[in-house]
């Protein structure tokens, strides 16, 4: 059953922010289709009234108290950053709202 179109793969790529070559699109389409076929098995399980498990073992989590710890030094913050300007992360312009690219 072919249910993943090339267009869908490209749109998933955009949503995931992944540049994909044509051959990658082709491979991904094939692989996702075959993986999704295996996923179909789940449809046969009767899950009526079954709670979705969002946290394993009903984990009881803890909270932290509102205490301040020392911040990372600015040099540590930027140690690995690809581009830095005036102690800010420098990125290509975020399009001003309203303008189309």
Partner 1 sequence: MSAMLSNEKWEAVIGLEVHVQLATKSKAFSASAVQYGAAPNSLTDPTVLALPGSLPVFNEEGLRLAMRLGLALGCTIAKHSRFARKHYFYPDQPAGYQISQYDEPICAGGSVPILEDGVRKEIALTRIHLENDAGKNNHAGARSLVDLNRAGVALCEVVSEPVLRSATEAADYMRSLRQIVRFLGVSEGDMEKGHLRCDANVSIRPRGREAFGTRTELKNINSFKFVQQAIEHEIARQIRALEAGETIVQETRLWDADAGRSRSMRGKEEALDYRYFPDPDLPPLEVSDATIEQIRSELPELPLDARARLIALGLAAADAEQLSSERRLLAYYDATLASLGKSNAKLAANWVSGALLAELGRLGKSIGDSPLEPARLAGLLKLIADDTISGKIAKGILARMMESPDEAKDIVEREGLGQITDSSALEAIVDELLDNNPKQVQGYREGNQKLLGFFVGQVMKATGGKANPKMVNQLLRARLDT
Partner 2 sequence: MSELLSLSASEQARRIAEKTVSATELCDAYLARIDANDADLGSYLRVDHEGARAQAHAVDAAVCAGDSVGPLAGVPIALKDLLVTESLETTAGSKILEGWVPPYEGSVVRKLRSAGAVILGKLNLDEFAMGSSNEHSAFRPCKNPWDLGRVPGGSSGGSAAAVSASLCAMSLGTDTGGSIRQPASFCGLVGLKPTYGRVSRHGLIAYASSFDQIGPLATCAEDAALMLEVIAGGDILDATCSTEPVPAYQAACKRDVKGLVIGIAKEMEGEDVDTAVSAAVAAAIAELESAGAEVRRISLPHTRYSLPTYYLLATAEASSNLARFDGVRYGKRKGNEEALQNMYEKTRGAGFGAEVKTRIMLGTFALRAGYYDAYYKKAQQVRTLIADDFRKAFAEVDVIASPTAPTTAFPFGAKKTPIDMYKADVFTLSCNLAGLPGLSMNCGFDDSGMPIGLQLLAAPMQEETLLQCAAAYQRQTDWHTRRPNFGGQP
Q: Interface residues with partner 2 (CB under 8 A)?
A: 4, 9, 12-20, 24, 27-28, 31-32, 34-36, 38-43, 45, 47, 50-57, 59, 61-64, 72, 76-77, 79-83, 89, 91-95, 101
DSSP structure string for 5-59: -HHHHHHHHHHTT----HHHHHHHHHHHHHHHHHHGGGGGS--TTPPP--SGGG-
Q: Which does 45 bind (CB under 5 to 8 A by kind): partner 1, partner 2, none?
A: partner 2
Q: Which one of 46, 50, 69, 82 is in contact with partner 1 (CB under 8 A)?
A: 69
Task: Indicate whether 87 belongs to the interface with partner 1 (CB under 8 A).
Answer: yes
How far is CA 66 from its chain centroid?
30
Q: Which does 87 bind (CB under 5 to 8 A by kind): partner 2, partner 1, none?
A: partner 1
Q: What is the C-alpha separation between 90 and 74, in angstroms, rounded?
A: 15
Binding site residues, partner 1, CB under 8 A: 11, 14-15, 17, 54-55, 59-69, 71-72, 74, 77-78, 85-100
């Amino acid at each position: 059953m072919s249910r993943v179109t090339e267009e869908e793969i490209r749109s998933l790529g955009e949503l995931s922010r992944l540049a994909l070559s044509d051959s990658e699109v082709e491979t991904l389409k094939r692989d996702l289709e075959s993986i999704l076929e295996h996923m179909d098995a789940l449809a046969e399980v009767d899950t009526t009234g079954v709670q979705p498990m969002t946290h394993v073992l009903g984990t009881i989590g803890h909270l932290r108290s509102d205490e301040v710890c020392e911040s990372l030094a600015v040099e540590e913050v930027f140690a690995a950053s690809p581009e830095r300007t005036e102690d800010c992360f420098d990125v290509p312009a975020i399009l001003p709202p309203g303008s189309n690219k």
